[in-house]
Chain A
Amino acid sequence: MSMNSPLVAEQATVNVIMLKVLAALLPAIAVYVFFFGPAILVSILLASVAALLTEAAVLHLRRYPLRVYLLDGSALVTAWLLALSIPPLAPWWLVVVGTVFAILVAKHLYGGLGNNLFNPAMVGFAALMISFPSHMTHWPAPDMLAQSHWSFTQQMDFMFGGEFPAGDRLDAITMATPLDTLKTQLHLDREISEIQSGKIFSILSGKGTEIIALFYLLGGLFLWQQRIISWHIPASFLAAMFGTAGLFYLFDPGHYASPMFHLFAGGTMLGAFFIATDYVTSPTTPMGKLIFGAGIGVSAYVIRVLGGYPDGVAFAVLFLNSAVPLIDAYTQPRVFGHAGKWFKGGKE
């Protein structure tokens, strides 16, 4: 199967690729359900329905054939990635607004699949993050850490009606994420080792979330083995983040978390294997992919550690998305019979 970027021409190929991407996410989703309860499945379902309805409406307006484009699965992948980036138990309208924004604005206003400059799921995420910061930062605690356990119906009451079970508060089921905790505690002049002895931390990063990250990694390796994605973007992304985090860590281990922590915290794994590797919004040449991935790794670390937002992967991906045309222009392989390196192409 050839893996070149313009995939729109081969409908069946897009279809198969997207299904494999969804399949690669399933193990991680199963682990997610194990740690956080089944509410995430409802989020994914909501996002999928919203994405397909929006996609169908826009395709109809643009007079495109519905069946072919609707069944290519790309809208579903966007929906799933967005749903997995939003805190589970987020109110239903948050998921819907984000998905509609992703499909309508980020994908179709830019020309639809194959033409969008920015990763739709991450545009949806960024729009939600800057519009509804408090909803987007209330992450539930994994099951073994939560003070109270809500049944599935209680979770649904909260998602769709905003109602708490009697006598309960939101604090009882939410907690600061490991990245958040690090940031706030560091401001209180505590040392990393002291903070990481807290109960929400584990060997790699946070209890529960590190296992999910591990399964994203496994799913990513499956995609690589299936030749759906090449190794360049994930490898350079992870290496660059590891390297940057390592430098800071060597410089001052008391104030900067270990590089391993950063690889398994927040959205690093999901971003490296499933988000940054989106064909449409990443460079085409191997060299370009290496630059792109490394750029995301470094900027995600910088935004995450030195910036104001809890995680930087989404913003780093969007930032490097905007650099893709430039990267592509500078990494064109030399055309046989033409002089000069890259696209300078002058006379000899």
Chain B
Amino acid sequence: MSEANYREIIWNGLWKNNAGIVALLGLCPLLAVSTSVVNGVGLGIATVLVMAFSNGIVSLARSWIPREIRIPVYILIIAVLVTIIDLSMNAFVQPLYLVLGIFVPLIVVNCNVLGRAEAFASKNAVFPSMVDGFMVGLGLTLTLAVLGGMREILGKGTLLSGIDLAFGASAKSWIITVIPDYHGFLLAILPPGAFIGLGLLIAGKNWLDQRKSARVEPAQASQAATAAA
């Protein structure tokens, strides 16, 4: 597989087909967990690990999986990986695990995971598949981090609150107070904040893309004009 293809995989996963703000897949955990940066990134990392390995294993086994029953087989593979992640999180970062609750086991039914297994890993070699899973997961994690950051700043006036859940009580000093003496804007933390925030992120991405293509098109048009002349 050539260099350009990897670049395309990375570009697709992180920006062009971003799972959170373009494909709009797996919105349930995205909207529910993005109340803070730490929660978002915590679930994001778990999803990245599951996606990278599920894509790898599916790709490895793709010639033995009968087409007719491929979906149950994929789900089985994904479920095994999620169970491993679930138990490891329970063992090593239990406070964070308790906060994320049901959303860690629910990674099994996150459509991004199954979607990449079906759309990419079942047709490609092992290493590119793992890169694809990793990058799509990373794209989702970035969305979760940005959305979590927006909601946390607006809702609580802090950043990285709850970092002590992942790194122990000594990490409490890492919490950044963005707005001191903040009353808290509860709406941002509640579900409406998730929907409005995600809508703004999607709008922001479309705006950036539009601006870019608007800059490219006139340049192409003038090139075409000179070519015609």
Contact = CB atoms under 8 A, between A and B. Distances in A.
Most chain A CB atoms below 10 A, which of B184, B185, B186, B187: B187
Contact of B196 (A97, A105, A132): A105
B190 interface: yes
A97 B184 CA distance: 12
Interface string B168-197: 000000000000000111110010100010
A218 B187 CA distance: 35
A131 B196 contact: no
A127 interface: yes
B57 to A, nearest CB: 43
A60 B184 CA distance: 30
A131 B199 CA distance: 20
A130 B190 CA distance: 9
B196 A130 contact: no
Interface residues of B, number: 9
Contacts of A131: 184-187
Interface string A224-241: 000000000000000000
Contacts of B185: 97, 131
Contacts of A97: 185
Contacts of B190: 130
Contacts of A109: 199
Contact of B183 (A105, A130, A132): A132
Nearest to B196: A105
A127 B196 CA distance: 12
Nearest to B185: A131
Most chain B CB atoms below 10 A, which of A97, A105, A130, A131: A131
Interface string B60-79: 00000000000000000000
Interface in A124-163: 127, 130-132
Nearest to B199: A109
Contacts of A105: 196
A130 B185 CA distance: 9
A105 B199 CA distance: 11
A105 B195 CA distance: 12
Contacts of B196: 105
Contacts of A132: 183, 186
B185 to A, nearest CB: 5
Interface in A243-268: none
A97 B182 CA distance: 14
Contacts of B199: 109
Interface string A100-138: 000001000100000000000000000100111000000
A331 B133 CA distance: 49
B207 to A, nearest CB: 11
Nearest to A97: B185
Interface in B182-228: 183-187, 190, 192, 196, 199
Interface of B: 183-187, 190, 192, 196, 199
Interface of A: 97, 105, 109, 127, 130-132
Given A131-B184, A132-B186, 11 more contacts: A97-B185, A109-B199, A127-B187, A127-B192, A130-B186, A130-B187, A130-B190, A130-B192, A131-B186, A131-B187, A132-B183
15 contacts: A97-B185, A105-B196, A109-B199, A127-B187, A127-B192, A130-B186, A130-B187, A130-B190, A130-B192, A131-B184, A131-B185, A131-B186, A131-B187, A132-B183, A132-B186
Nearest first, the 4 closest Cβ-Cβ pairs linking A and B are A131-B186, A131-B187, A127-B187, A131-B185
